[in-house]
Amino acid sequence: MIGKEIRLERIMNRNTQKTIIVPLDHGVTLGPIYGLIDMKKTVNSIREGGANAIIIHKGIVRSGHRGKGKDIGLVVHLSASTSLGVDPNAKVEVCTVEEAIQIGADAVSIHINLGAETESEMLLHLGEVGRKCNYWGMPLIAMMYTRGKKIKNEYDVSVVKHAARVGAELGADIVKVNYTGSTQTFRQVVEGCPVPVIIAGGEKMETDKQVLEMVKGSVEAGGAGVSIGRNVFQHKDPKEILRKIAGIVHS
């Protein structure tokens, strides 16, 4: 496991054992939205703001990762779908663990939608990726969401804690889930998951206060940090909001 341990230190704060990850994989799902036009500029702001890692697709690594200044952890995303597809919840493999290793990844991530019509195929992919990550010593972040006809509320603690547990059961080293809305309910998610749990940022929020209260609630519940995208890279000052988030997560 030493390979995983070394690589995990590149995407997590070794002192706090928590992390701030900014996902920038939205270009496949939504296209070149605001904040993701100039990737080098965006990544530089995120790096300067104090994030521990970013998540990007393999084709953006050359143009949007390591530049001048201090380094930042690289997580390569392995799955994708687009908003133009018949079923945007059906994520498919677009990169392998071996490809991610070849381009210098510190970790890989995969998106799973429990409750979707293609849930079985996505779980099969998660299991296979988990096996390869163990073989190569590559950390795996599982983005576990609940989206489908049977899901009435994807933020309900009963489905969120189920999703987190599935990710851990199938080999994830870090699990990313929705925040359930309160410290009390999110504590149930953390207690039921034997690996670190981080929260997604969700849709763009109206105020910084909403973002920071969500971060604070998750950390107080025992969460291991955040993976916030649009509420960072679409912020008027990504560096400033990241500094505030870091003050909560790492202090």
Q: What tens digit of pLDDT does each residue of 129-138 get?
A: 999 999 999 9
Query: Would you call 25 a catalytic residue per the annotation?
Result: yes
State the catalytic residue, choosing from 25, 132, 173, 179. 25
pLDDT score recorded for residue 80: 97
Element (H, E) at 108: strand 107-114
**Would you state the structure tokens that stand for residue 47, as one six-digit string?**
């790096």
Q: Which of 91, 106, 132, 145 is catalytic?
A: 145
HSE (side-chain half, CA atoms, 13 Å) at 131: 6
For the segment 164-188, what is each residue's pLDDT rounded down to a tens digit? 999 999 999 999 999 999 999 999 9
pLDDT of 1 higher than 80: no
**Helix residue spans in 74-229 (DSSP H):** 97-102, 119-136, 157-169, 183-191, 208-220
pLDDT of residue 202: 79
Query: Among 38-52, 59-73, 115-129, where is mean pLDDT lowest?
Result: 59-73
Residue 145 appears among annotated catalytic residues: yes
> Active-site residue among 18, 91, 132, 176?
176
156 a catalytic residue: no
Domains and CATH numbers, the chain: 2-246 (3.20.20.70)
